[in-house]
């Protein structure tokens, strides 16, 4: 969490907690929620009015933005960190960053993509402090080809079974696999996020997929 910043993500007279991540909210919970996104599907303009209100310090708008994205962002944290308490802490710290840096958002992407990048960066920084181990590619690993998400085992498995198997992957494997298969980043982007070579990202993904198959075949879940 940024030093010197004290921020509570609260609506007027309401004290939200991270439990909100797991809650279901009525579509009409606030007036802001009723605002429609552009029909042209210009994702860079999604929730423009809410964002503008947040920049003006409107606490209700800030809480609404939190409601819109906190659940999805918590799931990202949980996939990457595999610990509920750590995921909740990173989620809250990430939204502090979101609101303190919102003035830098230039609508060049969707607000969701921008928030996701902040969340992922915070997860990576957290894991690096815990000595995230990503083995760099060496001469023993050549001709690593890019594999697509469709190569992941797709037998008759439940989501819970797949998630359990992913959580058992070593940190380096799990992070690369999550970024590539779940979050849609390509290996060039992952290499920039993790500060490793693109070949290393491909190698980690290939190993993660192999390990995942082994875990699933062993009867995980």
**pLDDT (tens digit, 9 = 90+) per residue, 131-185?**
776 666 544 444 444 444 445 544 566 777 788 889 999 989 999 999 999 999 9
Asked, for residue 144, whether it belongs to a domain, the answer is no
| One domain, residues 121 and 191 | no
| One domain, residues 198 and 110 | no
76, 123 Cβ separation under 8 angstroms: yes
| Contacting residues for 91 by C-beta, under 8 A, at least 6 apart | 18, 21, 70, 73, 74, 77, 119
CATH number where 66 lies:
1.10.1740.10
Q: What's the number of domains the chain is made of? A: 2
| Contacting residues for 174 by C-beta, under 8 A, at least 6 apart | 79, 80, 82, 166, 167, 208
Per-residue model confidence as pLDDT tens digits over 71-128: 999 999 999 998 999 999 999 999 999 999 999 999 888 999 999 999 999 999 998 8
| One domain, residues 59 and 98 | yes
Distance CA(95)–CA(76), nearest Å, equals 14
- Lookup: tokens for 199: 């070949």
Distance CA(110)–CA(51), nearest Å, equals 11
Distance CA(176)–CA(55), nearest Å, equals 33
Is the model's pTM score more than 0.75? no
In which domain, by residue range, is 180 found? Answer: 149-217
- Residue 24 is predicted with a pLDDT of 36
Asked, for residue 116, whether it belongs to a domain, the answer is yes
| One domain, residues 175 and 82 | no
């Amino acid at each position: 969490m940024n030093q010197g910043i004290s921020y509570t993500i609260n609506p007027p007279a309401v004290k939200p907690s991270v439990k909100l991540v797991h809650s279901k909210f009525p579509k009409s919970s606030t007036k802001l929620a009723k605002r429609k996104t552009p029909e042209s599907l210009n994702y860079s303009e999604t929730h423009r009015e809410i964002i503008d209100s947040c920049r003006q310090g409107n606490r209700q708008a800030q809480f609404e933005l939190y409601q819109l994205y906190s659940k999805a962002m918590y799931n990202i944290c949980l996939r990457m960190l595999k610990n509920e308490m750590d995921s909740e802490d990173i989620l809250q710290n990430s939204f502090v960053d979101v609101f303190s840096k919102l003035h830098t958002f230039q609508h060049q992407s969707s607000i969701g993509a921008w928030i996701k990048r902040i969340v992922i960066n915070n997860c990576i920084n957290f894991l690096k402090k815990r000595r995230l181990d990503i083995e760099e590619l060496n001469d023993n690993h050549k001709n690593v080809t890019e594999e697509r998400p469709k190569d992941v085992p797709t037998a008759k498995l439940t989501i819970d079974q797949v998630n359990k198997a992913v959580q058992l992957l070593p940190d380096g494997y799990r992070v690369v696999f999550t970024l590539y298969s779940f979050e849609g980043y390509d290996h060039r982007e992952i290499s920039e996020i993790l500060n490793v070579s693109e070949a290393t990202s491909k190698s980690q993904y290939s190993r993660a997929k192999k390990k995942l198959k082994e875990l699933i075949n062993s009867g995980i879940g």
